[in-house]
Amino acid sequence: MKTTLYLARHGQTQWNKVGRFQGQLDSKLTQIGQQQSEQLALKLANQKIDLIVSSTLGRAVDSALICQQVLNRPIEQWSKLMERDLGLWQGQYITGIKVDQHYDEILHQFTALTPPTGESAVSCGARIYQALTTLAKNHLNKSLLVIFHGEALRCLLATLGNNSTGNAYELFDNGCLLQLSYLHSDESFQQIT
């Protein structure tokens, strides 16, 4: 028995476009972001998606609503799928934050170091892992589209042992899609390539 999870990053936002960290703040989808969300749904149109699950942040919810128009599936919102809390870096321009001596460790590595007043990559990864495990256990043998965030996705994959040295913006385009299976027999995730 397994649960299939299609993990997606929301469509492009106004702050993505101008290089500002959102974290748990929000900005609206751009027209390109709306198109990316529609394309995401079209990629899954031939799959049997049972449920769309999104982070509670507006950009993920808006992407989910666009997908719902194509896939005609119900939506659930989960606060545990919110983006990593980037603390005082939220709302700041990336170019201004890059000068911080810990920038690379915080956003390119998988460590317990936090941005000022923020959440570590390790904590974020554990939070997303637990949320997806709960979702999978609640939806045995179902297929779910899960729309959330790039940095949270990077932290999750590092939790699963897929470390990289890039940051989320380099690794995951807006509207990207990855597939995971949750294997109920051994309670583990398997990435489908």
Give the residue numbers of the binding site.
9-16, 59
Give the residue numbers of the binding site for substrate.
9-16, 59
Contacts of 193 (CB under 8 A, 6+ apart): none
Clarify whether 102 is annotated catalytic.
no
Contacts of 39 (CB under 8 A, 6+ apart): 175
Active-site pick, 38, 83, 139, 170: 83
**For residue 109, which amino acid is it?**
Q
Clarify whether 139 is annotated catalytic.
no
Instruction: List Cβ<8 Å contacts ≥24 apart for 37-40.
Output: 37/10, 37/11, 37/62, 37/63, 37/66, 37/67, 37/175, 38/66, 38/67, 38/69, 38/70, 39/175, 40/8, 40/11, 40/67, 40/147, 40/175, 40/177
User: Where in the sequence numbering do the catalytic residues fall?
Assistant: 10, 83
